[in-house]
Structures are given as C-alpha cells and as structure tokens.
Amino acid sequence: MKKNDRYSVIGLMSGTSLDGLDIAYCHFWKETDSWWFEIERAITVPYTEQLQGLLKESTLLSGEKLAKLDIEIGQWYGKVVNDFKGNASVDFIASHGHTIFHQPEHKLTLQIGNGHILSAESGLPVIYDFRSMDVVLGGQGAPLVPIGDKLLFQHYDACLNLGGIANISFDVNNKRIAFDISPCNMPLNYLMNTVGKSFDDKGELAKSGNVIDDLLLEWNSLPYYHATYPKSLGYEWVDHNILKKLNADNYPPQDLLCTSVEHISIQIANVINSIPGQAVQILVTGGGAKNSYLIERINGHLDSGKILNVPDDKILDYKEALIFAFLGVLKVRNEVNCLSSVTGAARDSSAGTMVGF
C-alpha cells in the first residue's frame, strides 16, 4: 500500500469480557507531525450463543477443535464486517482477534480469528496477530494500546482502560510505560452471570453489598501488585487468583461484587496516586467507565488533584478498536507500533501480520 497521510480503516477488538466484537470505522490523518482521528461509525456485535460458549471453553479445547474455532471466528468476523461496511471506502481491516492463551514467559500468546479467512470473507486486506513479534522479542506482548494513547490522546497525562482487565499508560521521563493494573469487568461480569445478567448496571448490585474483609486482604496481598512493570495479566491468572475465590455458596453475590469493586478501586487508585504531578488528568475508557459505583470508589481512594475524565460514548466504548485500527496504520507505514518501554521487549517493533496487500 502506498504510504500516505490519510487512511480509512476498520478496527476490530474482542476483549476478555466476551460481550462481543467491537467494530469501528475510523479515519486517520497526519498534519504538522501530529495524528488526528475520527470514528465515523462504531457498533458492538454480540457473539452468538454457540460462539460465546466455545470461547468460554476455549482454553480447554483440543488442538484440532481450537484450530477449527480459529477458522469459525475468522469467518464470523468477515460476515460482521460485510454487514457493517456497506458502501464505505475501506483501506484495510486491523483485527486484534480474541486472546485464548497469553503466557509471555513461555513466548506464548494466541489470538484467534484467522486473518486469512477474514480477508477472504471480507475481500479486504487484513493486519492481525499484533502480539507475537513482541513476545518473541522477550516482551510481554501487552498492552499494545499505549502507542495510540501517546499519539492520539497526548493532551491527557494518563489513559486508564476499564475493560475485562484494567490497564494504564503514561509517560515517565518522556518514555511511555504501561501495564495491566488488575482484573476489572472480568470478575464483575462473571458474578453477574451467576444471577442471570451480563453486567451490573451502574454498579447498583455491588453498591448494595458489604466488603468481605478477609477476601479483600487476600486479594490486595497478591504478589503481582508489588511487581514492577512491565507486567501483564491473562485469563489464567485471573481465573486462578480471583474467579476461583468467588464462591457464591459462602457469600451472597452482592458482597462478592462489593468486595471485587473495592479491590479493583484500591489497586487502580494506588497506581494513579503514584503518578507525579499536582494536577493529573486521566482519560477513562472501557465498559467499566459506565459503572458509576466503580468510578465513585476509585475517586474515593484518589489523592487530591488526580482527576478522572470520562469522554463521549464513541471513545468510551470503542477506543481499543480505534487504536488497533491505528496500529494497522503504523504497520502499513512500517513505523513502530509496539513500544519496548511498555512491554520490556529487546527493541521496539512494527508488529502485525499482513494479508492481502
């Protein structure tokens, strides 16, 4: 593709919360050495019950069944893109895929949603597999969003994302650093599923509960929270350390939710409070930003001068899809889209596998 300064891209993002595929049609342009963007349209398409069930069980599938699911997800992504794009002019698709395994210490990271199938189904070039190169270079392969935070949202001091896992990025000595803070929506949605709902609207059920002190102490004492960055969390860690402790036989769901929110809030506030500066402006995105009680509890633990800013719904809901589209732009330009200062890799890289260009 010819290198230019304007691109129209469809970004695809499927997060650990399993609520569906975020799809955003985005425009990017470069003026006076700064990047600008517009999200023209964006939607979330829920997974079918069959696909959601398979994704929930994906870490336990045989190699053959997982390979078939990779193809099936790629086909479904392609159909979703075709329904979404209409007559829009699209340069390419940039797809995160859906993470199944993330064990960077073993140089293992796997996102399914086969890029070749997606390209064939949609008739568009595709960039996918954004994490593998960084992991091979000794990095965590996560988080990848910080390069977008730095180049697209430079007027904020830090960017906090409240997805299945909470992560943050900010500059230290003019270098971007970022890391996963703690679980976030993953345990909250897990608990709501036990009462037949997909999420806790505005955190109302959590707000009605009481903190379980012993459990809160146990979670806050986990070694991960005392480790230095770069560091990242995956489903396996959350399942072992958090989800398996959510025993509804011993505690009512509202108390487990309340304790989870308190734990998440404390860990997030601890990190934000460590950022130097009297006035620190934090951009807050992801589904958790709509959880009023979670935002209230984070604010309750923040030092004076640390300000949370919740943007309009398009950026709130689709920032990650936007930034994966932007990672694709940087890849097409053969520019750095994965920062070693964030991931701990041996060097910066221009990551992603290109199909159909």
CATH code: domain 6-138+321-355 is 3.30.420.40
DSSP state of 113: S
Q: Which fold has domain 146-314?
A: Nucleotidyltransferase; domain 5 (3.30.420)
Dihedral of CA 132/58/178/281: which sign? positive
Distance CA 336, CA 350 (A): 5
Residue of 324, 286, 274 whose CA lies nearest to 147: 324
Distance CA 230, CA 178 (A): 7
| All CATH 3.30.420.40 domain ranges in the chain, comma separated | 6-138+321-355, 146-314
Question: Around Cβ 335, how many Cβ atoms within 10 Å?
Answer: 13
H runs (alpha helix) in 36-131: 49-56, 63-85, 115-122
Residue-level pLDDT, tens digit, the chain, 357 residues: 556 789 999 999 997 668 799 999 999 999 888 999 999 999 999 999 999 999 999 999 999 999 999 999 999 999 999 999 999 999 999 999 999 998 899 999 999 999 999 999 999 999 999 999 999 999 989 889 999 999 999 899 999 999 889 999 999 988 899 889 999 999 999 999 999 998 999 999 999 999 999 999 999 999 999 999 878 888 889 999 999 999 767 899 999 999 999 999 999 999 999 998 888 999 999 889 999 999 999 999 999 999 999 999 999 989 999 999 999 999 999 999 999 998 899 999 999 999 999
pTM (predicted TM-score): 0.83
Q: In what order do the strands lie in the sheet with 34-45?
A: 34-45, 21-31, 6-14, 92-95, 126-128, 353-355
Q: Is the CB of residue 267 less than 8 Å from the CB of residue 301?
A: no
